Amino acid sequence: MENKVRLFVNVDHVATIREARKTVEPDPLEAALLAENAGADGITVHLREDRRHIQDHDVSRIREKIKTVLNLEMAAVDEMVQIALKTKPYQVSLVPEKRQEITTEGGLNVVKQKDHLKKIRDQIQSQGIRFSLFVDADFQQIDASREVGAESIEINTGLYSELKGSETVIQELKKIRNSARHASEQGLRVFAGHGLTDENVVAIAEIAEVEELNIGHSLVSRSVYYGFEQAVRNMMQAIQKGIAQRAN
């Protein structure tokens, strides 16, 4: 496995702060440029159907202005597919979406919508856009992702990030490790994300199969104290710590 884990910085919650006042700042594009300057490998945005944070113009501006690449998270609906085909991000990551949720609550149920996801895959890949699915650490969902023809999966680390007891954390981390290994054996590239912080990211970065992490809320939160560039640098240092432990 490559001894590097790419960090894609999610700037959604910069837009959340802006939308609280419906003004022009803070600008998620400026945050994206700061993240790149700090060494981020890519930028992630989630254009939600209700437009609660990232707006359509943010997607096009960020796609045009950043020097790295754009990962567009979106629901598996035609409106978003059309936006992706027009914007042509580096990668599309399909995520489940409910209007009433505060944030994404779980992975896609790939098993129940394989035919639908295959149609979206065909449209996305026809434009040379990479196609990824956000799933829970579940072998069934991973196998279905391979059947759909995804190039990669992003393992949902939300539950791992929320757990407090050491034994339950260890058990969830074991599930993530086993799922990452299984996905890699199925020929899928393995990413991870949701709820990760400087502290809990180390054990995830230690997993040999993990190539890429999507992290946002923690970076935006800590930028209040350290500034955005320093928050990104701190996260990258934590990721490097995990990579260094892979050989141990």
**Identity (one letter) of the amino acid at 161?**
S
Determine, yes or no, domain membership for 232: no
Q: Exactly one of 13, 46, 53, 182 is catalytic; name it.
A: 46
Angle between helices 28-37 and 12-21 (to 10 degrees): 150
Determine, yes or no, domain membership for 102: yes
Find where tokens 């894609």 sit: 8
How many domains does one find in the chain?
A: 1
Bridge partners of 190, per DSSP, are 153, 210
Check if 13 is active-site: no
Determine, yes or no, domain membership for 237: no
CATH number at residue 37: 3.20.20.70
Bridge partners of 130, per DSSP, are 91
Q: What is the pLDDT of residues 89-121, one digit of tens each?
A: 999 999 998 665 555 568 999 999 999 999 999
Determine, yes or no, domain membership for 240: no
Determine, yes or no, domain membership for 239: no
Determine, yes or no, domain membership for 148: yes
CA–CA gap between residue 53 and residue 41 (Å, rounded): 22
Query: Which tops the pLDDT comparison, 100 or 195?
Result: 195
Q: Exactly one of 13, 53, 182, 194 is catalytic; name it.
A: 194
Instruction: Give the model's pLDDT for residue 201.
Output: 98
Determine, yes or no, domain membership for 62: yes
pTM for the predicted model, two decimal places: 0.95
pLDDT band at 51 (very low <50, low <70, confident <90, very high): very high
Determine, yes or no, domain membership for 234: no
Q: What is the pLDDT of residues 17-29, one digit of tens each?
A: 999 999 999 999 9
Check if 73 is active-site: yes
Instruction: Give the model's pLDDT for residue 1.
Output: 47
CA–CA gap between residue 67 and residue 96 (Å, rounded): 28
By residue range, what is the domain housing residue 105?
6-227
Query: What's the 3-state SS for 113-153?
Result: HHHHHHHHHHHHHCCCCEEEEEECCCHHHHHHHHHHCCCEE
Stated length of the chain: 248
Instruction: Give the model's pLDDT for residue 103.
Output: 57
Tokens of 154: 């992003």
Q: What is the pLDDT of residues 197-228, one digit of tens each?
A: 999 999 999 999 999 999 999 999 999 999 99
Check if 217 is active-site: no
Q: Exactly one of 13, 53, 73, 212 is catalytic; name it.
A: 73
